[in-house]
Structure 1
Amino acid sequence: MDTGLIVGMVLLGLFGGYLITSVLLLKYPLILHKRKQLKFRCRHICHRGGAGERLENSMSAFKHACHIGTDMLEIDCHITKDGQVVVTHDNNLQRLTGCDVLVSETNYEDLPLLKPELRLDFDFGWVTRCSSDNEEDDLGQRRITLLREVFEQFPNTVVNIDIKVDNDELIQSVANLISEFNRESLTVWGNKSGVVTNKCYTANPNIPVLASIGTVVKWVILFYTGLLPFIPIREAAYEIVMPSVILKEGKTRFQLSTKQRALLKFIDWLLMSKQMIQHLSERGIQTYIWVLNEEDEFEKAFQLGATGVMTDFPTKLKQYLEPGHVLDNKT
Structure 2
Amino acid sequence: MLLLEPNQTLWLAMGIVAAIVGGYALTSLFLLRFPNLLHRKKQLKFCCKHISHRGGMAEGLENTMGTFQHAVDLGTDMLELDVQLSQDGMVVVSHDNDIKRTTGVDVKISDTKFADLPLLRTNQEVSFLNGLPVCFPDASDRSFCLLQDVFEKFPGVVINVDIKNDDDELIAKVGELVQEYHREDLTVVGGRQESVIRKVHQQNPDIPLFFSAKRVVQLVLLFYSGLLPFIPLKESCLEVIMPSILWGERWADTVPTKYKVLARIVDFLLMSKVMIRHLDRRGIHTYLWVINNDTDFERAFSLGAKGVMTDYPTQLRHFLDQREAIDKK
Q: Give the TM-score range, shorter chain.
A: over 0.9
Q: Find out whether 1:316 has 2:322 as its counterpart.
A: no
Q: CA deviation at 1:248?
A: 2.2
Q: CA deviation at 1:207?
A: 0.5
Indicate the residue corresponding to 1:159 in structure 2: 159
Q: Structure 1: how far apart are the matches of 2:203 and 2:171? A: 7
Q: Structure 2: how far apart are the matches of 1:318 and 1:260? A: 31
Matches within 5 A, 1:132-281: 132=138, 138=139, 140-251=140-251, 255-281=254-280
- Contact 2:123-2:137 at 8 Å conserved across structures: no
- Contact 2:184-2:206 at 8 Å conserved across structures: yes
Q: CA deviation at 1:251?
A: 3.7
Report the CA distance shift for 1:258/1:124 in structure 2 as closer, same or farther (over 3 A). closer
Unaligned runs of 5+ in 2: none
- Contact 1:78-1:164 at 8 Å conserved across structures: yes
Counting matched residue pairs gives 319
Identity of paired residues, percent? 47
- Contact 1:210-1:235 at 8 Å conserved across structures: yes
Report the CA distance shift for 1:97/1:325 in structure 2 as closer, same or farther (over 3 A). farther
Q: Deviations over 1:240-293 (max 9, x none)?
A: 0011101224349x9333222111110011110000000000000000000000
Q: CA deviation at 1:126?
A: 3.1
Q: Structure 2: how far apart are the matches of 1:246 and 1:119? A: 17
Indicate the residue corresponding to 1:76 in structure 2: 82
Q: Deviations over 1:301-329 (max 9, x none)?
A: 10010011000000111111112259xxx
Indicate the residue corresponding to 1:135 in structure 2: none
Indicate the residue corresponding to 1:307 in structure 2: 306
Q: Find out whether 1:45 has 2:51 as its counterpart.
A: yes
Q: CA deviation at 1:131?
A: 6.1
Indicate the residue corresponding to 1:122 in structure 2: 128
Indicate the residue corresponding to 2:63 in structure 1: 57
Q: Structure 1: how far apart are the matches of 2:39 and 2:273? A: 20
Q: Structure 1: how far apart are the matches of 2:239 and 2:213? A: 9
Aligned-residue Cα RMSD (Å) equals 1.5
Q: Which of the pair has more CA radius of gyration?
A: 2
Normalising by the residue count of structure 2, what TM-score does the alignment of the two structures yield? Answer: 0.94
Q: Structure 1: how far apart are the matches of 2:184 and 2:301? A: 27
- Contact 2:246-2:255 at 8 Å conserved across structures: no
Unaligned runs of 5+ in 1: 133-137, 327-331
Which of 10, 24, 33 does residue 4 from structure 1 map onto? 10
Q: Structure 2: how far apart are the matches of 1:45 and 1:244? A: 19
Normalising by the residue count of structure 1, what TM-score does the alignment of the two structures yield? Answer: 0.93
Q: CA deviation at 1:113?
A: 0.4
Q: Structure 1: how far apart are the matches of 2:170 and 2:102? A: 21
Report the CA distance shift for 1:303/1:221 in structure 2 as closer, same or farther (over 3 A). same
Q: Deviations over 1:212-258 (max 9, x none)?
A: 01111011011111111111111001110011101224349x93332
